[in-house]
Amino acid sequence: MRTLIVNGTVVTADGSYQADVLVDGETIAAVGTGLAATVTADETIDATGKYVIPGGIDVHTHMELPFGGTFAKDTFETGSRAAAFGGTTTIVDFAVQSKGQALRTGLDTWYAKAEGNAVIDYGFHMIMSDVNDATLAEMDQLVAEGVPDFKLFTAYPGVFYSPDDHIFRAMQQTTRNGGLILMHAENGPAIDAVAADLVAEGKTDPYYHGVARYPVFEGEATNRVIRLAEAAHAPVYIVHLSVVDALNQVRAARDRGSMAFAETCPQYLFLSIDDLGNGFNGAKFVCSPPLREKNPNWQELWTGLRKNDLQVVSTDHCPFDFHGQKELGRGDFRKIPNGLPGVEDRVDLLFNGGVLGGQITKERWVEIISTEPAKLFGMYPKKGAIVAGADADIVVYDPERKRTISADTHHMNADYSCYEGWEIQGASDVVMSRGSVVVRNGEFTGRKGHGKFIKRATTDYARMV
């Protein structure tokens, strides 16, 4: 099957230009002007007035994550389909090692969840809950197998939390095996102390989830794990960075030449602690780190994205229904499952608020939603690029189309949207995954099981600073 995309503006991280794109089978065969006159194709897609961009890559999702006595509601089928509707063609999900388990057991569980179900390509990071001699040795095997990143937590004592010596040991292991440590950087024990005080004072509403998790607790943990990584001569990637205190730690580290990288998420650019108010309705917005004060955080995060102190915007997609799941925390905010639905809206929110909002160029938009995640996570130039030889993961994007975000029309498995009623501009018309059109004009045309596991390479992080 050959598909020719004509008359579009190809937008890449490096620049934008008029060109046609020829797809042959699963890959991009040619990019150039006037291809229609020289090649034949089974289908021609007219992209007049549209952008032709590499498919979005969301490197932070949690399909079916066990959390707070329940499970994130999207499966690989429903979650990857929702991602595709939103112009994302690759996700990297977090496999979970439970305490006492081998990494292998957790990873095999995630292979089984995804295989035959995902509609777009996927990779895995490994959550390490238990660092010991056996799991440290297992890390080398996972790196060789194409799962080269490991998430550890300074948050969630008793669940995913690791003490500093375990984090340092895991970092040392990646120095040897070329992998990358991803850190959830919040001071969990300090947060738990404040949260216990708040609950004892009768402050049990979701709003206090935001109050308990002081910005300094994120800043302190971010600085700590970066310093540990420096001591181990290891790269480190801070996930879901939410606040200026933490951003300043990353800035300082990068200024002194450290291999420190970080992502933020749409919820930290567009939502605020005010959303956690409104009684128990605020439970819809409970995630960790929490939503922060709008000022100065939103603008500082945008500045961080512009200046490359933040390299990626992912979603941390982790959807729970309001009814039945978030409600587990009525009367005690500590029991609200942490996480938000988001995988479907990232590309459009970033276009609407970022590009049209005057915060970033459309080239930087492509870079932070696709190209940089591909580079940092060992998929470039197979993913994240519109070049001959790359996977034909392509989105024909309409920068003019307007839509209203709503739980009534979204495809994520969540009974609410954090952006309910928002009117935004910019939407994916055609979404192609390895040469197959999976979404066309709002209709799903893909296939469960089309998505393949992406064996990812390690990266030369020193060259990425």
Choices 10-18, 22-30, 130-138, 183-191; region in contact with Zn ion by CB under 5 A: 183-191
Q: How far is the CB of 184 from ligand URP (least distance, A)?
A: 5
Q: Residue 278 class from Cβ within 10 Å (0-12 exposed, 13-18 middle, 19+ buried)?
A: middle
Structure tokens given for 329: 């925390």
Residue 6 vs 250, nearer CB to Zn ion: 250
- Under the binding rule (CB under 6 A), the answer on residue 339 touching ligand URP is yes
Please pick, from the candidates 11, 225, 318, 412, the single residue that binds ligand URP as defined by CB under 6 A.
318
Structure tokens given for 166: 């375990």
CA distance 267 to 377: 22
Number of residues interacting with Zn ion: please give it, by CB under 5 A: 2
- Under the binding rule (CB under 6 A), the answer on residue 264 touching ligand URP is no
Please pick, from the candidates 89, 154, 267, 288, the single residue that binds ligand URP as defined by CB under 6 A.
288
- Under the binding rule (CB under 6 A), the answer on residue 411 touching ligand URP is no
- Under the binding rule (CB under 6 A), the answer on residue 287 touching ligand URP is yes
Asked if residue 69 lies in contact with residue 328, where contact means CB atoms within 8 angstroms, the answer is: yes
- Under the binding rule (CB under 6 A), the answer on residue 353 touching ligand URP is no
Please pick, from the candidates 20, 74, 138, 316, the single residue that binds ligand URP as defined by CB under 6 A.
316
- Under the binding rule (CB under 6 A), the answer on residue 263 touching ligand URP is no
- Under the binding rule (CB under 5 A), the answer on residue 184 touching Zn ion is yes
Residue 246 interacts with, from ligand URP, Zn ion, none (CB under 5-8 Å by kind): none
Residue 287 interacts with, from Zn ion, ligand URP, none (CB under 5-8 Å by kind): ligand URP
The residue whose two tokens read 């696709």 is 370
Binders in 56-75 for ligand URP, by CB under 6 A: 62
Residue 51 vs 270, nearer CB to ligand URP: 270
Q: How far is the CB of 318 from Zn ion (least distance, A)?
A: 6
Q: How far is the CB of 308 from ligand URP (least distance, A)?
A: 23
CA distance 21 to 30: 6
Structure tokens given for 392: 């034909």
Residue 339 interacts with, from ligand URP, Zn ion, none (CB under 5-8 Å by kind): ligand URP
- Name the closest residue to ligand URP (Cβ): 338
Q: How far is the CB of 149 from Zn ion (least distance, A)?
A: 13
Residue 359 interacts with, from Zn ion, ligand URP, none (CB under 5-8 Å by kind): none
- Under the binding rule (CB under 5 A), the answer on residue 64 touching Zn ion is no
Binders in 148-187 for ligand URP, by CB under 6 A: 184
- Under the binding rule (CB under 6 A), the answer on residue 284 touching ligand URP is no
The residue whose two tokens read 């910005």 is 215
The beta-carbon contacts of 128-131 under 8 Å, at least 24 apart in sequence, are 128/97, 128/103, 128/152, 128/162, 128/170, 129/96, 129/97, 129/98, 129/99, 129/101, 129/159, 129/160, 129/162, 130/97, 130/99, 130/100, 130/101, 131/162, 131/166, 131/167, 131/169, 131/170
Residue 11 interacts with, from ligand URP, Zn ion, none (CB under 5-8 Å by kind): none
Please pick, from the candidates 204, 258, 338, 459, the single residue that binds ligand URP as defined by CB under 6 A.
338
Number of residues interacting with ligand URP: please give it, by CB under 6 A: 9
CA distance 187 to 394: 40
- Name the closest residue to Zn ion (Cβ): 184
- Under the binding rule (CB under 5 A), the answer on residue 316 touching Zn ion is yes
Q: How far is the CB of 182 from ligand URP (least distance, A)?
A: 10
Contacting residues toward Zn ion, per CB under 5 A: 184, 316
The residues binding ligand URP (CB under 6 A) are: 62, 184, 240, 287-288, 316, 318, 338-339
